[in-house]
Amino acid sequence: MVIDGQGHDINGTNASGSFGVYSTVSGTTVRNIRINNLVHGVYFLGADGGTILNVSANSTYTDGTGMLISTSANFNQIINSSGTTINGRAIYIYSSSSCNITGSNGTSTESSGVFLSTNSLNNQIINSNGNSNTGPGCYLYSGSNYNRVINSSCAAAGALGIGILLSGSLHNNITNSTGSAPIGQAGIYLYVSSNYNQLADSTALSSTGYGLYLLNSLSNNITGGFASSNYNTAVNLTNADLSILRNITINSSTTCINVSATSGLNSFFHNKLYNCSTYVNNRKTVDANLNMFNTSVGGTAQGNYYGNIAAVAIGDLSGDGYGDSGAVYPYDSGEAEWVGWGADYGPIMNLYSCANITMNNTFYFLASDIPSWTGLTCFNITAENITLDLQGHYINGSNTTNTYGVYSNKFNTTIKNGIISNFASGIYFHKPASNGLILNNTIYSTFLFGPTDTPNGSAIFSGVGAYTFHRIINNTIYTNSSIGIQVGTYNNNISGNFINSTGTGMFTRGQNNRWTNNTVYVSSASYPSLNLYGSYDTVEDNTLLQTGINGIALLESFSDTYNITQNTIEANCTGASVCTGVRIWYSGIWGTQTGSRYSNNKISGYNYGIYIFDPGLLPGRSVFENNTITAERYGIW
């Protein structure tokens, strides 16, 4: 049977016992119709295999329903339809199974938006909304088992409301759905004997109530998603046992997780707890039924992330991302943010915001982007043997003076895998830092560089003085009026970097540094690709491309003792007054002159291949050999 309203209305008078459409016949289809002011808009009683499609059913009758699927009315479909009521259930499935509610909306002022009751099994609520004021947005009640709520939103606006409520219902699956009750009791509430349910990637929100609430329910599995309460506990367990809560982002201005003294054998791990005055309040005392705050994988404890972890004296010696050492290890009531019993033996060492890093011998991992840091230094490292893995995330500063993406003045700092932009210096190693590693980062700098030997205006800046053995490897740098890499220290290895700059590509005042396999493109008429102001450096296998005046500039070095070999130095500056591949300018006048070697370089596109500004000052033992030079005026002048 097909009833097609073709967009027309059925309007009733709220007479007792009235129906818009009533069927006890299998295979009934009701479509394209608006039904108003009857007790039940559409009522299938024991009618199997029917379809309600594109129907609007509104009831203002006391306890009236928009759509009622009742008493073994199985395998029915409610599609792209809406039910609206005052104090009855808007969309109501009673003691019926294997029905689907898809793309539909149920709205009730005083009752439930979507209501499944009394042994309603294997139903699905998909891409639908349930809304209420004082009642639950979506309510699974009394033996409503094995149902699925998928990609749906259930909200309760009033003070007594609950977003999603399960009561006495088992083995249900709530996936990628939201339960919200801004001023109500709870966003998602598993109440009295609601056991063996699964919540996956779902959101539980409240402002004054609990985000997620388990009461007298056991063996639930809650994975992923978000639980939040502005002014109450985000996750609350009362008389709730044997549940697993993992991979949940938990946020509250008060308590993140509260576990009653009568709740035991619950497991919490891989959760992110932040912005809470108390991260854990575990009231369960020491007995055989302790709650656990970490799992174990391959013998390694893996716990939760706590928002203050960077300020806690817990370290990660193994580099697996989980705390395993330190003066206050494990994370427990020794921290003010943990109340009661238990401990986390594997707190996650992730970072989600800028931090001061003060714990020696520790690995840290950035787990999210930091798009708008307005302070000075984002990551301030004042501890030894630190690895900061930015894991492909970016940090973005305010582009003001003395702002640094990452700063370290300690031994053996590693900074890797990040994207850093809009700081006066992206990464700054300050004396007495040594043995650092800057690896595989992308840095954007637009801060106008000032005097050399200062970090402002250098994408990467390695101090000044005899602080040594840094490695700057495989970074990508884009600068506008800034220096790409500035090194004022000794015995560093700068290798495999790519620099695109309108300022100087690379600059050094240090000694004994190795510059190898770098590619530098400078699109400026004023700045060189590599400016050498020190001595004893090796410059090998680099590709230096230019529109400017100098590929390599040697300026007033301490002693002219360079090994410059096998570089490709190219420009397109035909017609310029002085445009040089290698410019030797007052080189060697400050120290013992032992001579440099310039060999096997390929120089082209300049009007001077190698330009010696004052040959009288050039050490006599310098060697020029096997260079291939194509120049507009002179190969060597």
> What DSSP letter does each residue of 5-25 carry, written as one string?
EEEEEEE----TT-EEEEE-S
d(CA 627, CA 604): 11
Provide the pLDDT confidence category of residue 209 given band limits of 50, 70 and 90. very high
d(CA 182, CA 172): 24
DSSP three-state, residue 311: helix
pLDDT at position 285 is 80
Strands 295-297 and 300-302: antiparallel
* Mean pLDDT value of segment 480-507: 93
* Mean pLDDT value of segment 543-547: 86
pLDDT at position 467 is 65
Provide the pLDDT confidence category of residue 89 given band limits of 50, 70 and 90. very high
**H helices present in 468-596, as ranges:** none
- Would you put residue 219 in left (φ > 0), alpha (ψ -120 to 50) or beta? left
For the cut 50, the answer to whether the pLDDT of residue 588 exceeds it is no
For the cut 70, the answer to whether the pLDDT of residue 526 exceeds it is yes
Six-digit token string for 431: 């004396």
pLDDT at position 592 is 40
What percentage of the chain carries pLDDT values higher than 90? 79
d(CA 590, CA 599): 24
Residues 535, 561 contacting (CB under 8 angstroms): yes
Output the 3-class SS for 59-111: ECCCCCEEEEEECCCCCCEEECCEEEECCCCCEEEECCCCCEEECCEEEECCC
Residues 191, 167 contacting (CB under 8 angstroms): yes
Q: Length of the chain, please? A: 637
For the cut 80, the answer to whether the pLDDT of residue 559 exceeds it is no
For the cut 70, the answer to whether the pLDDT of residue 24 exceeds it is yes
* Mean pLDDT value of segment 241-258: 98
Residues 29, 53 contacting (CB under 8 angstroms): yes
d(CA 309, CA 357): 10
Six-digit token string for 255: 């308590």
Eight-class DSSP state of 184: S
Name, in order, each residue with C-beta under 8 angstroms of 297's C-beta and a sequence gap of 6 or more: none
* Mean pLDDT value of segment 396-416: 96
Residues 448, 423 contacting (CB under 8 angstroms): no
For the cut 90, the answer to whether the pLDDT of residue 132 exceeds it is yes
CB atoms within 10 A of CB 626: 11
pTM: 0.86
d(CA 544, CA 530): 8
Query: Is residue 480 exposed (0-12), middle (13-18) or buried (19+ Cβ within 10 Å)?
Result: middle
For the cut 70, the answer to whether the pLDDT of residue 557 exceeds it is no
Provide the pLDDT confidence category of residue 612 given band limits of 50, 70 and 90. confident
For the cut 70, the answer to whether the pLDDT of residue 591 exceeds it is no
User: How does the average pLDDT of the chain come out, rounded?
Assistant: 92
Eight-class DSSP state of 229: E
pLDDT at position 575 is 56
Residue with tokens 């005392």: 285
* Mean pLDDT value of segment 148-174: 97
H helix or E strand, kind and range, residue 622: none
Lowest mean pLDDT among 293-297, 384-388, 504-508, 538-542: 504-508
Lowest mean pLDDT among 109-123, 207-221, 222-236, 474-488: 474-488
Eight-class DSSP state of 309: G
Residue with tokens 């299998």: 26
Provide the pLDDT confidence category of residue 582 given band limits of 50, 70 and 90. confident
For the cut 80, the answer to whether the pLDDT of residue 569 exceeds it is yes
Name, in order, each residue with C-beta under 8 angstroms of 554's C-beta and a sequence gap of 6 or more: 532, 560, 562, 582, 583, 584, 585, 587
Lowest mean pLDDT among 120-134, 191-205, 281-295, 440-454: 440-454
Name, in order, each residue with C-beta under 8 angstroms of 471's C-beta and a sequence gap of 6 or more: 436, 437, 438, 439, 492, 493, 494, 495
